[in-house]
A and B are shown apart, each in its own frame.
Chain A
Amino acid sequence: AQSVTQLDSQVPVFEEAPVELRCNYSSSVSVYLFWYVQYPNQGLQLLLKYLSGSTLVESINGFEAEFNKSQTSFHLRKPSVHISDTAEYFCAVSEGGLKTDKLIFGTGTRLQVFP
């Protein structure tokens, strides 16, 4: 069965510093990988996704993630964070026939950006 592990429950960082949120998955078949973000008192929003093709994917607000099949990882990175990046970040994997079927989420990483 597939599973997702987010190794860090909380990541405190100062503004303008780089950050990496780690995500590892286990699956016996090809997968689709996602990062969702949840701002306080809001629903989850898709940040970026890997479906196929280039293993490096980027979001519009400066985040990037790289699919590493050999290490079964999909770590999220940003070279310089902003206060507004403070949120909960969830890694998710799907190996269903449809890309949103049977989406399995990790337990989340709370990113706290300090001034």
Chain B
Amino acid sequence: EAEVAQSPRYKITEKSQAVAFWCDPISGHATLYWYRQILGQGPELLVQFQDESVVDDSQLPKDRFSAERLKGVDSTLKIQPAELGDSAMYLCASTLDSGVTGELFFGEGSRLTVL
């Protein structure tokens, strides 16, 4: 069964360091999302891509976060410099049909701990 792949699963870093997360969506899925899930809260959308273009990054803290999907397939989310408050699970999701069926397919997430 096709899955959304994310790496690394776990990342521990010190504040002020740079971190990067990678996501490979299900093959053929044009729409890709990065969500942040803080412990005890629901996922919050950070950025949405349609192919290689950013559709919505209104909630992305652009002073320290960046995201790219250069070839419209896999994507990288970067944080530089990391802060203590960035500790969270970073979830990647994709969808085939630009949302017509209403189902997002999520990866297992990348858990970030900032010390």
A interface list, Cβ under 8 A from B: 4, 9, 32, 34, 36, 41-46, 49, 51, 90, 92, 94, 96, 98-103, 105-108
Contact = CB atoms under 8 A, between A and B. Distances in A.
Interface residues of B, number: 26
A107 B41 contact: yes
8 contacts: A43-B4, A44-B106, A46-B104, A92-B42, A94-B99, A101-B55, A105-B43, A107-B40
A100 B31 contact: yes
Contacts of B93: 43-44
Given A43-B91, A101-B56, A32 B102 contact: yes
B103 A98 contact: no
A98 B99 contact: yes
Contacts, number: 66
A34 B43 contact: no
Main secondary structure of the interface of A (DSSP, over half): loop
Interface of B: 4, 31, 33, 40-45, 48, 55-56, 91, 93, 95, 98-104, 106-109
Nearest to A33: B102
A4 B42 contact: yes
B102 A34 contact: yes
Contacts of A9: 40
B100 A45 contact: no
Contact of B103 (A41, A49, A101): A49
A101 B43 contact: no
A43 B95 contact: no
A46 B103 contact: yes
Contact of A103 (B41, B100, B101, B104): B104
B106 A43 contact: yes
Contacts of B43: 44, 90, 105
